[in-house]
Amino acid sequence: MNISLPESLRTFVEDQITQRRYGTTSEYVRDLIRRDQDRQHLRGLLLAGAASEQGPVADDRYFDDLRDKVDTAAGE
């Protein structure tokens, strides 16, 4: 795969490789692609969460009950 970049972007990429200690341009591009995949995955999770039913209210009682369950599981 070949990518053509204008000089300003080429300089930016070269600077990023130096500053972030990538070994090659390919490593930098692969990292950008992985980060974009992660971002898209997170966006999907957020959208799914926003579309889901509302869960229980996380008030003081909720956290007290949660602490009790942890204490019970830990044998206290």
- ∠ CA 44-59-66, nearest 5°, is 85
Share of the chain above pLDDT 90, in %: 91
Residue type, 6: P
Q: Does a structural domain hold residue 27?
A: yes
**Total domain count, the chain:** 1
Phi then psi dihedrals of residue 53, to 5 deg? -70, 150
Integer Rg of the chain from CA: 23
Q: Does a structural domain hold residue 1?
A: no
The chain-wide mean pLDDT, for the chain, equals: 95
| H-run or E-run covering 75 | none
pLDDT in tens, 30-59: 999 999 999 999 999 999 999 999 988 899
Tokens of 57: 């209210």
Residue numbers of the domain that contains 30: 7-74
User: Is 0.85 topped by the overall pTM?
Assistant: no
pLDDT in tens, 2-21: 999 999 999 999 999 999 99
Q: Does a structural domain hold residue 51?
A: yes
